Every structure is written in structure tokens, then in C-alpha cells.
Amino acid sequence: MIDNNTRENNLSKDANTEKWIAAYTKPRHEKVAYDQLINKGFTAYLPLLRQKRKWSDRKKWVEIPLFKSYVFVKIHLKNGLFVLQTHGIKNVVKLGEEITVIRDEEILAIRQMIEGGYEPEGIDYFVKGDHVVIIGGPMKGIEGVVAQIRGKDQFILKIDAIQHAVSCHIDRKLLKPLKAKNVNTVL
């Protein structure tokens, strides 16, 4: 039997650990909000993609956010108000009254996808396919789902907390089928 002191200690340990959350920004304020969060001392992550953009007079490489109007912040959940007081932040993503937590593995998988040389793109959240595990490359060991998008095999990573997903091309030889199970980190 667990006594009340043990319960309180476990609750306070959970409250004192930092967790990743998603903050929703004003339109086109992702970089401003990210910079402000960093200046306030928060650990923040803004996944950026380099794209070549064409104007009438020139072409230029620009960095655009992978998830429009979202920045990720690692905080103690009790400090969510300090994130809201940041210039450029509109609100914190919640499910009901609870701040939605994003697992460390999901943030790591996004980083590995971007830094591993893949070309991720935001896609629709609900896609059906076969459950797989990646058996080689920088994302080795990550489980997910394969889908056909525009005739190409794509690996899909779901970020449940913000109901967005990211896909990138993965060679079929790097995938191994899994038995059906609940895969939350990647879909």
C-alpha cells in the first residue's frame, strides 16, 4: 500500500521535472517568439527547414518553420504562465485544462529527421499504413507508419500534442515490419 507521503513525493517529483510543451504563436512570429523564449532562459526548439524561394528579381535560401505558428518549450508545467507572457506567444497548447506534454522522444525524432539529411514536410495528421521500425541510418530504432504520398514511400512522425505530422522519404530497405501495436511516437 502506498502512503500519502509517497504519493505527494511522486507528484512533486513530476511537477519539478521539465517537460516539452507546444506554444502557439501569432502568425509569422515563430522566430521572434523563439528568440524571446531563449532570452528569458527557457530551453526552446523551433524546427526550421531551408528552402529556396523565388522572387521576381532573385532566388534566395530561407529558413521556414516546419510547423507554422508553433514553437516547442521545455518547462516545469507550473511555469506555463511565464511562456504566455512572452512576446509572440498567443497561447499554450492544452487538452481541456491540462497543458499538453510532448514526449522527449518526439522532439528527438524531429531533430534526427531534420539533421539526418531527410527532407521533412508537414502533412495531414491522419494517415493509415503499415507499422514499421527503421533499421538503419540516423533514425534507427524509431517506430512508425509507412504511407504512400504522391507515389512515394514516406515515413510519418505524429506529434500528438499539436495534432500535426511530419513525413520524409525513407528507403524501403531501411524498414522492418512490426506486429500491429499502438504506436504513438510515430504514425
Predicted local confidence at residue 71, as pLDDT: 97
Three-class secondary structure assignment of the chain: CCCHHHHHHHHHHHHHCCEEEEEEECCCCHHHHHHHHHHCCCEEECCEEEEEEECCCCEEEEEEECCCCEEEEEECHHHHHHHHCCCCEEEECEECCEECEECHHHHHHHHHHHHCCCCCEEECCCCCCEEEEECCCCCCCCEEEEEEECCEEEEEEEEHHHCEEEEEECCHHHEEECCCCCCCCCC
- Residue 48 sits at φ, ψ, to 5 deg, of -115, 145
Predicted local confidence at residue 139, as pLDDT: 87
Comparing C-alpha atoms, which of 160, 132, 154, 136 is closest to residue 144? 132
CATH class of 103-187: mainly beta
Predicted local confidence at residue 6, as pLDDT: 41
- Decide whether 1-102 matches 103-187 in CATH topology: no
Predicted local confidence at residue 126, as pLDDT: 40
> Residues 169, 120: contact at Cβ < 8 Å?
no
What is the residue-level pLDDT of the chain in tens, covering all 187 positions?
Answer: 445 444 344 334 455 799 999 999 999 999 999 999 999 999 999 999 988 888 889 899 999 999 999 999 999 999 889 999 999 999 999 988 899 999 999 999 999 999 998 888 775 454 457 777 888 888 888 888 877 666 677 888 777 788 888 888 877 777 777 765 444 444 3
Predicted local confidence at residue 8, as pLDDT: 43
- The burial of 149, by beta-carbon neighbours within 10 Å (0-12 exposed, 13-18 middle, 19 or more buried), is given as middle
Kindly state the cell numbers that stand for 134.
527503421
Q: Where are the domains of the chain?
A: 1-102, 103-187
Domain 1-102, classified CATH 3.40.50.1370, yes or no = no
The C-alpha atoms of residue 187 and residue 178 are separated, in whole angstroms, by 13
The C-alpha atoms of residue 36 and residue 40 are separated, in whole angstroms, by 6
> Residues 132, 172: contact at Cβ < 8 Å?
no
